[in-house]
């Protein structure tokens, strides 16, 4: 069993935090045991492990290993770009109203620091081509960078990233993608999309732990980044003074041009050991197969919920993700409903007033009747 301790008949909350599998736990135990036995002598072994992971992450998003930095979270990836981008005073950043704050707050802080302007379009506008027309008009006014999530956390809407990036490129704008609600459950391809930066944490659909993530940076954009967040490990050959004798302690070594300069100090080794283990399972199954499986789960669940008075916000084919979100009937308190479901060991969440289901590859269609039974019991209690 991969999840022997999971206390849920249906864990449908992978869009929040995924439970660690036995493979993940084994990987973390191996790292801790290694350091317990060898102390600093284990460092090289796990440094090699992180290089393997870098290659796996690059393959996940259709990039190359040398363009990937290991970071602490999606938020850290956004902060890194927001603070190291070569801004000029008056540059405009285009964000989307309705996005998770991870992909808004750092740009707002960069605006205060560097004298930028943050402008917004509405996420829901991008359900149709009318939204792309609005994007075109905003880009025509001058935009330096567009920040967008590949999948919206409330509704599960997959944004037309490729179309956004193509329009941005025509106008000389760059594109940052928050991919935490996409990687591991829908296909991601940075080259096909034509984006410039992509960040993702590991604790949702990648099924790792909190505190580990990655940032991919397009090769052509790397040299322009300003190393404002550099640390001692950002230098070329940063370890020489520790292992090669006297005379190598210097402060003038160049900062690396690759995005790995953002790996500036001590790193979350346990988190990255966990991520390699969880990612190995995902890549063994294959993201296209996972995506199809999740859509099948949604197909079984959605019509039954609509019959019970819920309003589905699921997008049309081609724009769907791992998230199925619905508006509850008017007489139902969605927060109380989620609590009732949790008491019946059905794990869901309620972002921005929706009832959100987020199944993943471990979920089985046989769970659906139990989910609906729990839902019916909860609705009956709330309406009593």
Indicate if 271 and 340 belong to the same structural domain: no
Q: What is the mean pLDDT of residues 301-323?
A: 96
Asked whether residue 103 is assigned to any structural domain, the reply reads: yes
* Residue closest to 198 by CA, chosen among 60, 27, 91, 8: 60
Asked whether residue 343 is assigned to any structural domain, the reply reads: yes
Indicate if 163 and 50 belong to the same structural domain: yes
Q: Which pLDDT does position 56 carry in this prediction? A: 98
pLDDT confidence band for 282 (50 / 70 / 90): very high
Asked whether residue 2 is assigned to any structural domain, the reply reads: no
Asked whether residue 210 is assigned to any structural domain, the reply reads: yes
CATH at 147: 3.40.640.10
Asked whether residue 314 is assigned to any structural domain, the reply reads: yes
Tokens coding 162: 């490729």
Asked whether residue 49 is assigned to any structural domain, the reply reads: yes
Indicate if 279 and 296 belong to the same structural domain: no
Could you give the CA distance from residue 204 to residue 181 in angstroms, rounded to a whole number? 7
Indicate if 274 and 327 belong to the same structural domain: no
Q: Which pLDDT does position 132 carry in this prediction? A: 96
Q: Which pLDDT does position 15 carry in this prediction? A: 99
Tens digit of each residue's pLDDT (9 = 90 or more) over 155-173: 999 999 999 999 999 999 9
End-to-end Cα, the chain, rounded Å? 39
Indicate if 278 and 294 belong to the same structural domain: no
Indicate if 196 and 100 belong to the same structural domain: yes
Q: Of 248, 266, 283, which marks where a domain is finished?
A: 283
Indicate if 313 and 274 belong to the same structural domain: no
Could you give the CA distance from residue 257 to residue 351 in angstroms, rounded to a whole number? 39
Asked whether residue 3 is assigned to any structural domain, the reply reads: no
Instruction: Report yes or no: 307 and 372 within 8 Å, Cβ to Cβ.
Output: no
Indicate if 363 and 275 belong to the same structural domain: no
pLDDT confidence band for 128 (50 / 70 / 90): confident
Q: pLDDT at residue 143 above 90?
A: yes
Angle between helices 22-38 and 269-285 (to 10 degrees): 150
Q: Which pLDDT does position 384 carry in this prediction? A: 85
Indicate if 243 and 363 belong to the same structural domain: no
Could you give the CA distance from residue 94 to residue 196 in angstroms, rounded to a whole number? 15
Tens digit of each residue's pLDDT (9 = 90 or more) over 85-117: 999 999 999 999 999 999 999 999 999 999 999
Indicate the SS3 state at residue 252.
Answer: coil
Q: Of 233, 263, 283, which marks where a domain is finished?
A: 283
Asked whether residue 66 is assigned to any structural domain, the reply reads: yes
pLDDT confidence band for 129 (50 / 70 / 90): confident
Indicate if 146 and 274 belong to the same structural domain: yes
Indicate if 322 and 275 belong to the same structural domain: no
Detail the DSSP E strand segments found in 75-154.
Answer: 92-97, 117-122, 145-149
Number of compact structural domains in the chain: 2
Tens digit of each residue's pLDDT (9 = 90 or more) over 329-345: 999 999 999 999 999 99
Q: pLDDT at residue 317 above 90?
A: no
* Residue closest to 145 by CA, chosen among 188, 215, 91: 91
Q: Of 266, 283, 300, which marks where a domain is finished?
A: 283
Q: Which pLDDT does position 130 carry in this prediction? A: 85
* Residue 11 CB contacts under 8 Å (≥ 6 apart), including other chains: 3, 19, 347, 362, 363
CATH at 301: 3.90.1150.10
Tens digit of each residue's pLDDT (9 = 90 or more) over 184-228: 999 999 999 999 999 999 999 999 999 999 999 999 999 999 999
Q: What domain range is 39 assigned to?
A: 23-283
Q: What is the mean pLDDT of residues 258-283?
A: 98
Q: What is the mean pLDDT of residues 7-26?
A: 98
CA triple 23-202-237, angle to 5 deg:
100
Based on C-alpha coordinates, what's the Rg of the chain? 22
Tens digit of each residue's pLDDT (9 = 90 or more) over 65-83: 999 999 999 999 999 999 9
Indicate if 309 and 365 belong to the same structural domain: yes
pLDDT confidence band for 300 (50 / 70 / 90): very high
Q: Which pLDDT does position 294 carry in this prediction? A: 99
């Amino acid at each position: 069993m991969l999840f022997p301790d999971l206390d849920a008949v249906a864990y449908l909350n992978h869009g929040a935090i995924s439970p660690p599998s036995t493979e993940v736990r084994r990987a973390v135990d191996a790292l801790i045991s290694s350091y317990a036995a060898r102390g600093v002598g284990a460092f090289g072994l796990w440094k090699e492990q992180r290089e393997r992971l870098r290659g796996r992450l690059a393959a996940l998003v259709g990039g190359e290993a040398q363009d990937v930095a290991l970071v602490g979270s999606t938020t850290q990836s956004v902060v890194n770009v927001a603070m190291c981008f070569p801004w000029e005073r008056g540059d405009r950043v285009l964000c989307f109203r309705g996005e998770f704050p991870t992909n808004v707050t750092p740009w707002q802080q960069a605006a205060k620091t560097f004298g930028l302007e943050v402008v917004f379009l509405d996420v829901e506008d991008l359900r149709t081509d009318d939204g792309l027309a609005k994007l075109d008009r905003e880009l025509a006014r001058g935009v330096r960078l567009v920040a967008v999530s590949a999948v919206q956390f409330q509704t599960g809407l997959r944004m037309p990233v490729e179309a956004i990036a193509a329009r941005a490129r025509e106008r000389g704008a760059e594109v940052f993608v928050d991919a935490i609600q996409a990687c591991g459950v829908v296909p991601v391809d940075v080259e096909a999309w034509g984006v410039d930066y992509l960040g993702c944490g590991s604790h949702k659909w990648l099924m790792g732990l909190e505190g580990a993530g990655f940032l991919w940076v397009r090769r052509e954009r790397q040299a322009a980044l300003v190393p404002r967040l550099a640390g001692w490990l950002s230098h070329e050959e940063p370890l020489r003074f520790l292992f090669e004798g006297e005379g190598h302690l210097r402060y003038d070594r160049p900062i690396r041009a690759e995005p790995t300069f953002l790996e500036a100090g001590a790193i979350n080794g346990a988190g990255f050991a966990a991520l390699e283990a969880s990612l190995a399972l995902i890549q063994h199954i294959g993201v296209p197969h996972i995506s199809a499986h999740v859509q099948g789960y949604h197909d079984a669940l959605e019509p039954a919920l609509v019959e019970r008075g819920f309003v589905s916000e699921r997008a049309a084919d081609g724009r769907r993700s791992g998230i199925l979100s619905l508006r509850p009937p008017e007489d139902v308190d969605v927060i109380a409903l989620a609590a009732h479901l949790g008491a019946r060991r059905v794990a869901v969440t309620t972002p921005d007033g929706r009832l959100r289901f987020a199944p993943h590859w471990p979920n089985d269609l046989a769970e659906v009747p139990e989910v609906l039974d729990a839902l019916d019991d909860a609705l009956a209690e709330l309406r009593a």
